[in-house]
Structures are given as C-alpha cells and as structure tokens.
C-alpha cells in the first residue's frame, strides 16, 4: 500500500518498521475472514485490514482519533490474521507500534486510565495479586458468579520431587506472574513429569512477569522494565541450562520475541537475543524428547483448545494434539479452532462483552463433541474458559505421563 508517513517518524526505528509493514499490505482483505472480532461485528474497522488503515491514517495525520483508539482496543492481538495473510504482514508488530503511539499521547479518560493502571500494578506482581485474590475470595458471595470462578483459589502447592541426579538435561522453568497463583499445579506437575524422564528443572522465583501484559496495553516503558528484570534475574543461570521453558504460551510468545523487542537496547540486546534463542514452549521440549506417552488421567474423550499465542504466535499449534493422540486420548473435532476464546491477556477485563461472546462461542465449539475434559496451553485461556463451562479445563501437559522404560 502507498504510504506517506512524516519524515520525522520514518527517521526512527519504529517509524521505519511501521512503514515497511504498511508497505507489505496489499489490502486484499483475506485477514478479515479469520478475524474473531470482524466475524462478530461485521465492520471493516473491527478487522485487521481496517485497523491497519486506521493506524496508517493516524501515523500520517499525526493525530490520535478516538475511533482509532476504540477499534485498536477491540483487537485481541490473537494474530490469526498473520496466519491467513499471504503477503506476510507483521500485523502484531504494527498494532504494538500503533498502541504505543496512542498511549504516548494520553487518549483516555480517568476511569479507563485507572482501570489500566490497576491491571498493570496488580496482575504482574504475584504478591500483590495474591492479596487482591484473598480479598476477592472474602467478597466472594457478593461478586458475579463468573468473576468468582476466575479468582485464583487458595494455592495448594505440591512438594517438589527429589532433585534429579545426573540429569540428561537441565531446563529453566518460568513460573510467570498470574500463572503461579491461578494454576500452580501445572508447573508442579511438569517438574514431576520431567524428573521421571531424567530432566532437572530449575526454577527462579525472582523472575517475574515477562512484560506481555504491559506490551499489550501499550505501556512500552513498563514492558521494557519487566523484560530487563527477567533477563537480570535469569542471567546467572542461562549458561547452565539447555532451554528456558514456559507452560503459558502467552508468555512464551513474548519471551521468544525478546530479541526483537530489546533490539534497540544497547546494553542488553545481545543478551536478550541469546536468551530468546533458548526459549521453548513446553510442547516443543516434550516433542523433542525420545519418550513414549501414556494417559495420566482416566479420561478418553478430550477437546483441545489451542491458544492463539501457540498457533498464530509461535506457529506450533500442532503439538498438543500430536502428543495427546500418541498418549492414547481420543480428540473430538472442534470447529473454528483458529478463533480466539476471548481471554487474550487483559482483554477479558477491558472488553468483557466481546470476550464473553467469543468465550461462549468457543465453549459451544469445544463441547459440541461432548468431551469429558477440555485442555489448553495457556493460563489465560484456561481460567477464562473454566468460568464459562461445567466441563473441567486443564493444561494439556497434566494429561501426559511417560511410558516407563
């Protein structure tokens, strides 16, 4: 597409990237077809092609219109459009640039600002989040049912297994932020699973949020601080581990992107790139092992929800189904697997109406084949879907056990 961005903007690194991405879009509209919000709303402005146009117009006119803010806010950043796009438009990156541009110009009213500040000052910090969660549990009876179901339960931690002697591999497992409160059992059971395979797991509790939340909200500097802090707390361990593992694909997709995200940081760019190279989704680690799998839970029929961050972000959406089938589960067919469930980081909080419609559609698709269990690969999806259906929702690795021998 033709562009005429101001020279002052294209002189910056961000400006050059924005121009290159805009130029690669040919406006064919294929992306609208697989965009969850376009499917619900049927408005060009709520599809990727229209948002690209809004961003282009905003950057060219150097003016942040409330229309552009509203429709960029409605984007899930699920990146389904990137999977569909034949021209290879890096939409996610462009939206990030667009959001940073908007937030830097303060487009919001007091209530929205407070809401966002609350999210950014609570969710990424497990200790703070835990206090709010406890408060929420106390207030439980007065909260709407769905919100109540999303609150982290009082954590029940399993004692870690004995340290693996003579490990075949050592991996660093990131506990993230919200995940360690909401679904701590996932990483605990992974440690046991890996121990049974002779893999030692290192955990570094000081390593906090990966920065994904701030990144989504266009809080560029807070995202950088979070990323720098993760790198800082892990740098002493990077040499000794073979891989850095995340069981939350939403964090994984950001961690893998550290190289690009911190490319402009003179001091940490190289370190960030080296770190990103070691990051693997848990599925990639398990698939790379020479292991045979069996069922860890006594269920047969399961439905798989592949998080967008795994299928569109990391392009490894095939992994859960592959390993679960090897383990002997029967996977029920799920229509429209490419669509987002509506969780999408802070989206469920900031856009509750759309998130709920997407969630209900997703639950209908997942339960159509009457599964006994739904599995997914990201904490956000797990909690969001769990509040919308009676069918239990688990992380898929909890269903795997290695075949002995």
Partner 1 sequence: MSEPRQQPGTGQPDLEERGAARTRKRALKRLQSLLPEHCLLTRPAALKPYETDGLTAIRERPWVVALPETEAMLAGVIQICREEGIAVVPRGAGTGLSGGARPLADGVLLGLSKLDRILEIDLSNRAARVQPGVRNLAISEAVAEHGLYYAPDPSSQIACSIGGNVAENSGGVHCLKYGLTVHNILGLTVLTFAGDRLEIGGPGNDPECLDLLALYCGSEGLLGVVTEVWVRLLPVPPERRVLLGAFPAVAGAADAVAAIIRSGLVPAGLEMMDRLAVQAAEAFVHAGYPSDAEAVLLCELDGVAEEVAADARLVERVFRDFGASAVQTAETTEEQARLWLGRKAAFPAVGRLAPDYYCMDGTIPRARLAEVLARVSVLSERYGLAVANVFHAGDGNLHPLILYDANRPGELEQAEAFGAEILDLCVAVGGTVTGEHGVGVEKLGPMCGQFSEAELNQFFRLKAAFDPRGLLNPGKAIPTLTRCAEVGGMHVHGGRLPFPNLERF
31 Cβ contact list (under 8 Å, min separation 6): 47, 48, 49, 81, 84, 85, 89, 91
Contact window for partner 1 (CB under 8 A) among 85-93, 147-155, 229-237, 314-322:
85-93
Beta bridge partners of 295: 400
Q: For partner 1, give the closer residue by CB, 88 or 328.
A: 88
- Taking the complex as a whole, the smallest distance from the CB of residue 122 to partner 1 amounts, in Å, to 31
* One of 15, 18, 21, 34 touching partner 1 (CB under 8 A): 34
Check binding of 246 to partner 1 (CB under 8 A): no
| Residue 392 DSSP SS3 | coil
Q: Which is nearer to partner 1, 29 or 328 (CB)?
A: 29
Cβ–Cβ under 8 Å, residues 358 and 348: no
Structure tokens at 163: 């340290």
Coil, helix or strand at residue 19: helix
Please, what is the minimum distance in Å from the beta carbon of residue 321 to partner 1? 15
Nearer to partner 1, 35 or 220 (CB): 35
Q: How far is the CB of 3 from partner 1 (least distance, A)?
A: 6
83 near partner 1 (CB under 8 A): no
45 phi, psi to nearest 5 deg:
-70, -15
| 236, 256 contact by CB (below 8 A) | no
Residues 46-75 that bind partner 1 (CB under 8 A): 49-50, 53-54, 57, 65-68
| Closest by Cα among 204, 183, 150, 161 to 356 | 150
Q: Which is nearer to partner 1, 67 or 168 (CB)?
A: 67
Task: Kindly list the distances between the CA atom of residue 363 and the CA atoms of 70, 76, 137, 366, 373, in Å, as whole numbers in the listed order.
Answer: 27, 18, 25, 5, 12
Q: Which residues pair with 33 in a beta bridge?
A: none
Among the residue ranges 39-47, 130-138, 185-193, 386-394, the one whose residues contact partner 1 (CB under 8 A): 39-47
Query: Per DSSP, what are the bridge partners of residue 200?
Result: 170
Rounded least distance, CB 337 to partner 1, Å = 13
Q: Which residue number, 49 or 316, has a Cβ lying nearer to partner 1?
A: 49
Q: Residue 33, interface with partner 1 (CB under 8 A)?
A: yes
Total residues binding partner 1 (CB under 8 A): 36
When binding is defined by CB under 8 A, the residue of 12, 13, 16, 23 that contacts partner 1 is: 23
Site for partner 1 in 89-118 (CB under 8 A): 89
Q: Phi/psi of residue 331, each to 5°? A: -95, 125
CA 5 – CA 60 distance, rounded (Å): 5
37 near partner 1 (CB under 8 A): no
Distance CA 309, CA 250 (A): 5
Binding residues (CB under 8 A) for partner 1: these are 1-4, 23-34, 41-45, 49-50, 53-54, 57, 65-68, 84-89
């Amino acid at each position: 597409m033709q562009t005429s961005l101001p020279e002052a903007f294209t002189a910056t690194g961000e400006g050059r990237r924005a121009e290159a991405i805009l130029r690669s879009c040919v406006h064919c509209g294929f992306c609208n077809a697989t965009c969850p919000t376009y499917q619900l709303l049927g408005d060009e402005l709520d599809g990727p092609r229209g948002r690209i146009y809004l961003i282009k117009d905003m950057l060219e006119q150097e003016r942040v219109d409330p229309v552009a803010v509203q429709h960029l806010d409605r984007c899930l950043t699920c990146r389904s459009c990137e999977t569909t796009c034949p021209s290879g438009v890096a939409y996610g990156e462009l939206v990030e640039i667009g959001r940073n541009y908007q937030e830097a110009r303060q487009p919001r009213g007091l209530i929205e600002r407070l809401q966002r500040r609350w999210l950014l000052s609570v969710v990424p910090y497990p200790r703070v989040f835990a206090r709010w969660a406890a408060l929420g549990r106390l207030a439980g009876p007065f909260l709407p049912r769905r919100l109540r179901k999303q609150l982290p339960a009082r954590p029940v931690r399993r004692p870690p297994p004995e340290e693996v002697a003579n490990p075949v591999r050592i991996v660093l497992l990131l506990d993230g932020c919200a995940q360690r409160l909401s679904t701590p059992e996932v990483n605990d059971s992974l440690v046991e699973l890996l121990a049974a395979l002779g893999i030692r797991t290192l955990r570094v509790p000081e390593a906090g949020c990966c920065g994904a939340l701030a990144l989504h909200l266009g809080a560029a500097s807070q995202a950088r601080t979070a990323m720098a802090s993760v790198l800082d707390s892990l740098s002493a361990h990077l040499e000794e581990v073979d891989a850095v593992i995340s069981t939350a694909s939403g964090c994984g997709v950001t961690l893998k992107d550290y190289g690009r995200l911190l490319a402009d940081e003179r001091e940490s760019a190289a370190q960030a790139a080296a770190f990103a190279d070691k990051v693997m989704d848990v599925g990639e680690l398990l698939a790379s092992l020479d292991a045979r799998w069996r069922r860890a839970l006594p269920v047969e029929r399961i439905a798989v929800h592949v998080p967008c961050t795994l299928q569109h972000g990391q392009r490894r959406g095939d992994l859960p189904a592959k390993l679960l089938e090897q383990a002997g589960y029967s996977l029920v067919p799920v229509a429209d697997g490419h669509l987002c469930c509506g969780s999408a980081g802070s989206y469920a909080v900031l856009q509750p109406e759309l998130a709920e419609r997407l969630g209900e559609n997703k639950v209908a698709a997942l339960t159509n084949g009457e599964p006994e269990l739904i599995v997914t690969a990201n904490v956000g999806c797990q909690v969001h879907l769990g509040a919308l259906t009676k069918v239990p929702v688990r992380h898929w690795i909890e269903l795997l056990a290695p075949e002995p021998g």
